[in-house]
Amino acid sequence: MRRSGLLIILSSPSGAGKTTLSRRLMAWDPSLAFSVSATTRPPRPGEVDGQHYHFCTREEFAAMVDGGQMLEHAEVFGNLYGTPRGPVETAMSAGRDTLFDVDWQGGQQIRNSALGQHVVSIFVLPPSLAELERRLRNRGQDSDAVIAGRMQKSLSEISHWAEYDFVLINDDLDRTEAQLRAILTAERLRRSRRIGMGDTVRKLMEERQ
């Protein structure tokens, strides 16, 4: 049955598990489109341009913003991040769901955009700040200074938790993934998103005539 595409927003303090959970969700449902953000942050080892991020210069980023090509954009940890509009609109018109890994500023802007009615927003908390720091260190991709900066920013990101539809505590990965799947399954079944349901019910009732 036809239904409108969802915009699934995942936010969390850095290191709580958004990237890991997004990858698991995409493996579970390959029909999900991942919104590849543009960023001026340098690539981490293993990150592929065009797959994890579109890595660009500040000038290239500004040109995309000026050209109206960004659905939202924000500065996070001193770097610019933004969501290219085109792929989101393509996925929406095909009835595909899109997954966004954006911070609270991105979440607010997408929620307040013309596409806001299609948003399902999920905030991921770490079980503790000590565990958050341990995860950032274990990831082994950021310097001590970068980790300290991210830990310092974690409280301001967490302070936006109540703006989200769902809040998960990512203690056990398997359990959090199962919770995400449950949210997606339920949200896809919402009556308001099932644009083909009117016709289906009409046909059902016509069987009696």
Ligand X SMILES: Nc1ncnc2c1ncn2[C@@H]1O[C@H](COP(=O)(O)OP(=O)(O)O)[C@@H](O)[C@H]1O
Ligand Y SMILES: Nc1nc2c(ncn2[C@@H]2O[C@H](COP(=O)(O)OP(=O)(O)O)[C@@H](O)[C@H]2O)c(=O)[nH]1
Which residues are annotated binding-site positions for ATP? 12-19
Distance CA 8, CA 179 (A): 14
**179 in contact with ligand X (CB under 6 A):** no
* Span 104-123, contacts to ligand X by CB under 6 A: none
Q: Is 37 in the site for ligand X (CB under 6 A)?
A: no
Among 124, 98, 126, 128, smallest CA distance to 113 is for 98
Q: Can you give the three-state secondary structure of 79-114, one letter per residue?
A: EEEEEEHHHHHHHHHCCCCEEEECCHHHHHHHHCCC
* Contacts with ligand Y, 17-56, as mask; x by CB under 6 A: -xx-----------------x---x---------------
Q: Which of 4, 14, 39, 109 binds ligand X (CB under 6 A)?
A: 14
Among 15, 82, 106, 107, binds ligand X (CB under 6 A): 15
The reply to whether 170 sits near ligand X by the rule CB under 6 A is: yes
Residue 40 touches ligand X, criterion: CB under 6 A: no
113 belongs to the binding site for ligand Y (CB under 6 A): no
Q: Are 126 and 20 in contact (CB under 8 A)?
A: no
Residue 5 binding result from ligand X, ligand Y, none, given CB thresholds of 5 to 8 Å by partner type: none
- Binding residues for ligand X, rule: CB under 6 A, are 12, 14-20, 135, 138-139, 170, 172-173
- Binding residues for ligand Y, rule: CB under 6 A, are 11, 14-15, 18-19, 37, 41, 72, 74, 76, 81-83, 101-103, 105-106
